[in-house]
Amino acid sequence: MLTAPAPASTALVGVDLGGTKIAAALVGPDGAVLGPLRSRPTPAHDGPAAMLDAIAALVLEVLQQGTSQDPGAPVRPLAVGIGSAGVIDPRTGTVVSATDAITGWPGTAVAAGVCQRLQEAGVNDGVPLHVHVDNDVNAYAAGEAWLGAGAGADSALVVAVGTGVGGAVVLGGRLHHGAHFLAGEMGHMPSGAAAQETCTCGRPGHLEAVAAGPQIARRYREATGAAQVTTALQVERLAEAGDATAKRVYQEAAVALGQAVAAVVTVLDPHKVIVSGGLARSGELWWGPLRQTVRRELVDLVAQDLELVPAVLGTNAPIIGAAHEAWLTLPSRP
């Protein structure tokens, strides 16, 4: 059984839970990362109990390591925030739906399960701990909107483009979840560019089918027969080297994303659009048509003022954001 020593100081714990890795760190109420990032592989196919065990064990490890200023001195957690893959009901910390990237994840009561394990380990002297769980892109957006590229903005659309296409909406400085906790899920918006494509969800015509990294590589392979091309980065490099097909596929992805961003911006009218994920590290070959398409599709009043910017916090964003949301949802704050 996990056991926790007596604490010496207090902090929040932010956890970023993905399909391949779980990462966590101590975070102050002001968003400062107080200790080194710790991580471990995600036991994605070992069942929900193993997942909850791994999350709790990593939280305990982070608490026991102490802060950078006081290493080895255990910390009492003020709250634990978790950004998890899947559609999450943040009111209960339960997984509403998820892909098979994590076996059996739908229906898992993450907040209750992690809280129970930490309580049994003696964390917080066995008193139930506040554990807040939200979608991982929402956690990323919360971090970027608070201290990152969206700092100071009252509203933002955060778009994550990598293995898939995700998003989150910040209104009035807080995450907007929607009636079914799907607000911002842009990957499954209809896209004219994807009319003949099948999305990863099985339905035709969704944005993710043309704009996500693996789909960029797939479309290039289908157009050329080049089986060795498996990543969007390879397609980008081929395009930069003069490959016309690579350039077309890469730019089509950017244009499709730009059209989708413009559609959401027209409805929400946010102060900023923040783009994160692996594709956000692309060069002008991708950013150029993305920005041009967004500007072209928007009415002048919006287009001239809208900031379309890359995320800046990197891997710290979901950890800071998850911790911040846990702090904000504490029933009573010290």
Q: Checking DSSP bridges between strand 75-84 and strand 174-176, what pairing results, if any?
A: unpaired
Residues 6+ apart with CB under 8 A from 199: 187, 188, 205, 206, 208, 209
Structure-block tokens of residue 33: 């990362």
- Whether 143 is covered by a domain: the verdict is no
pLDDT at 145: 93
Residues 77, 119, single domain; the answer is yes
State the total domains in the chain. 2
- Whether 6 is covered by a domain: the verdict is no
- Whether 297 is covered by a domain: the verdict is yes
Q: What is the mean pLDDT of residues 194-204?
A: 86
Q: Is the pLDDT of residue 35 over 70?
A: yes
Q: Is the pLDDT of residue 201 over 90?
A: no
CATH of the domain at 167: 3.30.420.40
pLDDT at 198: 87
Residues 27, 90, single domain; the answer is yes
In the chain, pLDDT over 90 holds for what percent of residues? 81
pLDDT at 289: 97
- The Cα-based distances of 135 to 93, 147, 166, 332 in angstroms read 10, 19, 10, 23
- Whether 3 is covered by a domain: the verdict is no
- pLDDT tens per residue, range 104-124: 999 999 999 999 999 999 998
Structure-block tokens of residue 213: 């990294």
- pLDDT tens per residue, range 120-158: 999 988 888 999 999 999 999 999 999 999 999 999 999
Residues 177, 275, single domain; the answer is yes
Q: Is the pLDDT of residue 203 over 70?
A: yes
pLDDT at 254: 97
Mean pLDDT of the chain: 93
More confident residue, 6 or 309: 309
Residues 271, 324, single domain; the answer is no
- Whether 306 is covered by a domain: the verdict is yes
Residues 66, 82, single domain; the answer is yes
pLDDT at 41: 96
In the chain, pLDDT over 70 holds for what percent of residues? 98
> Which domain, by its residues, includes 44?
11-138+316-329
pTM to 2 decimal places = 0.90
- pLDDT tens per residue, range 50-94: 999 999 999 999 999 988 778 878 888 999 999 999 999 999 999
- Whether 79 is covered by a domain: the verdict is yes
Residues 72, 94, single domain; the answer is yes
Q: Is the pLDDT of residue 5 over 90?
A: no
